[in-house]
Amino acid sequence: MIILQPKISEEIQEFLQEKKMVRSLVQAFGSPLNLVFPHQISENLKKFQATMAHEGVRGKVYFAHKTSQSQAFIRTLAISDACIDVASERELKNALSCGMEGKRIEATGPKSPEFLLLAVMHGVLISVDSVFELQQVVELAQKLGKKVAVLLRMSGFDKSGEEILKKESRFGIAVQEFERAIEVLSDGKSFLDFQGLAFHLDSIEVKEKVRAIEQCLELIQRLRTAGFESRFLNIGGGFKVNYLEKQEQWIEFMSQLKEMTMGQRENSIWHNQTFGLRSEKGVLRGSFNSYQFFETQVAEKYLAEILNFHSEKYGQRIADLIAENLLELIIEPGRAMADQCGITVAKVNFIKKSSKGNLLVGVGMKRSDLSFLDQEFFVDPIHISLVENSASNHSAEVFIVGNLCLETDVILKRKIVVKQIPALGDLFVFVNTAGYSMDFNSTASIQQNIAPKIVIHKLGEEFCFVLDENYYPTL
């Protein structure tokens, strides 16, 4: 059985040594429990900013709010020079209430009329998702007597007839509609403060992002001809994160998963799932449909790779092209900003065997408390035992299951190894869950708890805690 050892920051490692405190917090606030470390989000911000400065690019970092619902994160960023990307009316209200001024907020994604109205009223930068939406913005600005800052979010890039994007996107203004967008810009010029172009690709391929940047530079030239100067180029998010300590463990796991798919090894995945892979007449088909949990070029290093990419079309680094076109770069990191910013703790409720004899450890949480969409979390949890060196002090292979009355409520579909068979009241700690895993799918199904958030921070040498909604970084 392959171990997938989590990568853990020094701060979280130090905190987890305080076992009595961890147990006390679970006793006080229940299971599951989300613990967040807002100091780390400031450190992640600084790394992105330092990379931009090192590569000679002026730019802004907009944290993608949809990554996390933690108010502590937003308040921490509000006292820095970070900005925030909101994708709903409630996210906008939360950002404003946490201290973000409208001019430091960007509205992205699908927008209701109410969301658009609030954004316009507060002077938010609007990343326009369609020509229809651009017309809505013009009408609102005219009614309210305001000038609205806008970016045009583009999609459907191509080059010499070759499709860049491998699949259709529901977001952005298709390149084929660009001339129509310029017409609307021109008609509403007195009500619009045009700021530039934006895109967000559903891809982590550097070459695809570079080619989208090249295409945007061409569109920016066309805008200049039409009388519109661009200040910003927003290249979106998708900055990678590494969750695992050892690359060889991930490589070995993927190798074994392929062997299980091909029937060459006993399947140790719940209900023999293969995560998008399949065997067709002895040939491995399909593609792995989850996140790559081990990465080497992550976060600011991934940004540096994009900025240092040599454009064959222009014969220059991307960073130099952005600077020479007098553009400022906007990025929208989410997961990478929340890297090592949180953990999820769950208490053991029962131990039993399945109908096929597998050992099941039931914890006080639901699968939706630890998932993004329906992707698996391929990181081993840390087992905090109540009794060390007990009679059950021998290793076992187990599935961790949840507290819903559903067959599908399996927390980890991958069988894991524990050094000691868990006992009632033991804890499992899932590391690095602040980015999407804590919040995105969380529900109150059958009235089970939605995990509360507790901020962990230091006063001097001591760890302290406070409710997330009550945390203010300067107090």
Looking at residue 388, what is its pLDDT?
61
Do 24 and 57 share a domain, yes or no?
no
Give the pairing of strands 310-311 and 316-317: antiparallel
pLDDT digits (tens, 9 = 90+) for 155-169: 988 754 444 445 778
Backbone angles phi, psi at 441, to 5 degrees: -110, 0
What is the full per-residue pLDDT of the chain (475 aa) written as tens digits?
Answer: 789 999 999 999 999 999 999 999 999 999 999 999 999 999 999 999 999 999 999 999 999 999 999 999 999 999 999 999 999 999 999 999 999 999 999 999 999 999 999 999 999 999 999 999 999 999 999 999 999 999 999 998 875 444 444 577 889 999 999 999 999 999 999 999 999 999 988 888 999 999 999 999 999 999 999 999 999 999 999 999 999 999 999 999 999 999 999 999 999 999 999 999 999 989 999 999 999 999 999 999 999 999 999 999 999 999 999 999 999 999 999 999 999 999 999 999 999 999 999 999 999 999 999 989 888 999 999 999 986 655 456 889 999 999 999 999 999 999 999 999 999 999 999 999 999 999 998 888 888 889 999 999 999 899 999 999 999 998 6
Task: Provide the CATH number for the domain around residue 227.
Answer: 3.20.20.10
Do 196 and 134 lie in one domain? The reply is yes
Quick one: residue 337, left, alpha or beta (phi over 0 = left, psi -120 to 50 = alpha)?
alpha
- Please indicate, yes or no, whether residues 128 and 195 belong to a single structural domain of this protein: yes
Both tokens of 431, joined, read 């590391």
Which DSSP symbol is given to 6? B
The H or E element that residue 380 is part of is none
Same structural domain for residues 30 and 44? Answer: no
Say whether the peptide bond before residue 333 is cis (omega within 30 degrees of 0): no
Does residue 45 sit in the same domain as residue 86? Answer: yes
User: Rounded to 10 degrees, what is the CA torsion of 280, 285, 288, 294?
Assistant: 120
Q: Say which residues have a Cβ less than 8 Å from residue 97's Cβ, sequence separation at least 6.
A: none
In a domain, 473, yes or no: no
For the chain, how big is the Rg over CA atoms in Å?
24
- Contact between 423 and 349 under an 8 Å Cβ cutoff? The reply is no
User: pLDDT (tens digit, 9 = 90+) per residue, 425-457?
Assistant: 999 999 999 999 999 988 888 888 899 999 999
Strand ranges for 135-219 from DSSP E: 148-155, 158-159, 162-163, 173-174, 192-198
d(CA 139, CA 275): 47
Q: Check whether residue 314 and residue 368 sit in a common domain.
A: no
Closest CA to 437 of 69, 44, 81: 69
Query: 111 — alpha (psi -120 to 50), left (phi > 0) or beta?
Result: beta
The answer on 115 and 185 residing in a single domain is yes
In our burial notation (b when 16+ CB lie closer than 10 A, e otherwise), range 260-281 reads bbeeeeebbbbeebbbebebee
The pair of structure tokens assigned to 376 is: 């698996």
| Strand partners of residue 458 | 463
Domain count, the chain: 3
pLDDT of residue 393: 67
| 310 beta partners | 317
The secondary structure of residue 367, as a DSSP letter, is: G
Digit-coded pLDDT (tens) for 225-277: 999 999 999 999 999 999 999 999 999 999 999 999 999 999 999 999 999 99
365 and 437 belong to one structural domain: yes
**Whole-number pLDDT of residue 161:** 44
Range of the domain at 277: 247-286
Q: Percent of the chain beyond pLDDT 70?
A: 96
Phi, psi of 367 (to 5 degrees): -55, -35
